[in-house]
A and B are shown apart, each in its own frame.
Chain A
Amino acid sequence: MIEVKNLTKRYGDKRAVNDISFSVGKGEILGFLGPNGAGKSTTMNMLTGYISSTSGQILINGVDILEDPIKAKANIGYLPEIPPLYVDMTVDGYLNFMYDLKKCKISRKAHLEEVCNLCQISGVRNRLIRNLSKGYKQRVGLAQALINNPPVLILDEPTVGLDPNQIIEIRTLIKKLGKKHTVILSSHILPEIQAVCDRIIIINKGVVAADGTAEEIATHLTNEHKMTIRIEGSTHTAADKKEIVEAIKGIDGIKYVRADMEREKGIYDYDVEADENVDIRRALNTLCREREWNILMLQLSAMTLEDIFLKITMGDEVIAKEKAAEMGRKPENTAPKFSLDIKDGELVATEVEKEEKLLVDQSFDDDDENNEGGEK
């Protein structure tokens, strides 16, 4: 239905969209996911022929959008980021205008009624668009895109500015539309994409970072063996924690261990990551049996779409931060420790090992200064 080949858009030296290729089949709902400024809207504007591409090709229903724009555009219903509404018109007047503009051949009265019912705007048809709430304006924008039953629907952040109820309504509507139309929708909201789309394309800095169903993307990216374990030591003190971390580090194939927060009194969670293709669960069990520790919980941390999104879009940044945390501070210190005292009948929590932390921070600062000096 839609085929995009090596699409590139340059603004001066900046590549807003860089060599994107994908195709969307009939009846598919495709989600464009990406942080703000990733190139989602630019791509959509190119797909709809609003702006042209610097290079590459877009085929809508087999028609090149640059070679035969009128024929290609007839196949598309587009809801831009800001709905193109004439605020001085009534909803009815506007929809009639769009009906004429799209040279719609379907029976006018029945078609407009159908579209209005779908978008639930039948009650406001005689009102001026200027006076409508944002949610209604968005729905009028959607209604406009649906006029003439285009086989392809392109929706740029269709739920922005809507309240939670409306968001659910619009999502349901999009799902319903997906049965008859090919839908591309963009969003920077993960659950939305996850809830509505069959397939997801993650765009970051103008390139496709991932393409597939949520599960495919997840399995593709999670070849690390990560888990969270809750282990009960023998003494129920912080000393346990050190001992346990050291012991787990001793297991073959462990990449890193980090003690997490104290979940139950004297019992901590540990984030453990092993090398690929190494299953450490049995070794862990043996270890705990030997030391007479109890495993209270073991959870494999499958990556959620959110993790994936962060990983892809923040990329190296997150890893760098994690590494800095690992190297700079001992893993045990990442979670702040509090000592509880009772002063004047009130419970007071004070952070311990503060001094040590400060020292670490200072050493970081020193490094920075040295670096700057070096650059000068």
Chain B
Amino acid sequence: MGAIYRREMGAFFTSGAAYVFLTVFTLLSGVFFFFGVIGSGTTETSNMFSSMFMVVLFLIPILTMKLLSEEKKNRTDQGLLTAPIGLWSIVMGKYLAALTLFILAESVVFIYSIILAYLGNVVWSTLLGNYFAMLFLGSAFIAVGLFISSLTENQMASAVVSMVALFVLYLFDSLAASVSIEAVKKVMLMFSFYSRYLEFTQGVFNLTSVVFFVSVAFVFNFLTVRVLDKRRWG
């Protein structure tokens, strides 16, 4: 797992994906920070974080798009799958590499907090709550992206499908509103990433939501392992 993790981290930076991701992430969060927080004269960061949902949604596929699709295309998966390591090690190595980069990007908010501390009082509980909310959201999204990357050989297809899939997850709230069958509505709301995330940004620390995001991450990583395993039996 360590070898794969290190290789992926290196590949993020040599391929430039890391730079694109970090640049766009800091740029957009900076814009939201400036207009949403500094511009409106508050130290309340919840607005900034709720806006960042969409940014995370569209940026995560850039991290995950080639994690497994490129391996399949270049036949390098043959090297991994015939090495004396388990499938979980392969998937987790890649997953944790993407997650590390995401945490790195996300940690830019600590720079904002220093600025805020200089200008006024930082509400650390909301800031940290939001920080972890985004972390959980990201960990779930990365697992979804990694799973979709395992299904194709084409990294562009992987990116587009991941974006669409994550967007559909985001739309679950609005869709649920127009569903008249109560049971279906309930189920859809249960899987609503956005409302769960919003709850966090409003300062509510809901343990079921944490469990939800971690479970989603686990389930999709599990599915990715299954996809790799199934390919051997094809």
A interface list, Cβ under 8 A from B: 11, 45, 48-52, 70-71, 73-74, 76, 78, 80, 82, 84-89, 93, 97-98, 100-103, 144
Contact = CB atoms under 8 A, between A and B. Distances in A.
Task: Tell me if B's interface is mostly helix, strand, loop or mixed.
Answer: helix
A89 B4 CA distance: 13
B3 A50 contact: no
Contact of B75 (A70, A84, A88, A97): A84
11 contacts: A51-B231, A52-B232, A70-B85, A73-B83, A74-B84, A80-B75, A86-B76, A88-B11, A88-B14, A89-B14, A102-B83
Contact of A86 (B7, B86, B234): B7
Contacts of A50: 78, 81-82, 232
In order of increasing CB-CB distance, the 10 nearest A-B pairs are A84-B79, A100-B3, A74-B84, A73-B84, A101-B3, A84-B76, A48-B82, A82-B75, A80-B78, A84-B78
Nearest to B76: A84
Nearest to B11: A88
A204 to B, nearest CB: 24
Contacts of A78: 78-79, 82
Nearest to A66: B232
Interface string B77-96: 11111111110000000000
B81 A49 contact: yes
B233 interface: yes
Interface residues of B, number: 26
B2 interface: yes
Contacts of B234: 11, 51
B83 A51 contact: no
Interface string B213-234: 0000000000000000001111
Interface in B134-159: none
Nearest to B229: A52
B208 interface: no
Contacts of A86: 7, 11, 74, 76
Contacts, number: 75
B15 interface: yes
B10 interface: yes
B6 interface: yes
Nearest to B5: A100
Contact of B79 (A49, A51, A98): A98
A213 to B, nearest CB: 29
B75 A103 contact: no
A22 to B, nearest CB: 20
B10 to A, nearest CB: 7
A97 B82 contact: no
Given A88-B15, A97-B6, A70 B84 contact: yes
A236 B15 CA distance: 77
Nearest to B79: A84
A101 B80 contact: yes
Nearest to A86: B76
B18 to A, nearest CB: 13
A102 B10 CA distance: 18
Nearest to B233: A52
Contacts of A71: 84
B199 to A, nearest CB: 41
A73 B84 CA distance: 5
Given A88-B15, A144-B79, A102 B7 contact: no
A74 B84 CA distance: 5
A102 B83 CA distance: 6
Contacts of A52: 232-233
Contacts of A97: 3, 6-7
Contacts of A45: 78
B80 A87 contact: no
Contacts of B77: 84
Residue from the set B3, B77, B79, B234 with the largest chain A CB neighbour count within 10 Å = B79
B7 A85 contact: no
A52 B80 CA distance: 15
Contacts of B4: 101
Contact of B76 (A11, A49, A85): A85
B147 to A, nearest CB: 21
Contacts of B11: 86, 88-89
A49 B83 CA distance: 9
B145 to A, nearest CB: 20
Nearest to B3: A100
A356 to B, nearest CB: 55
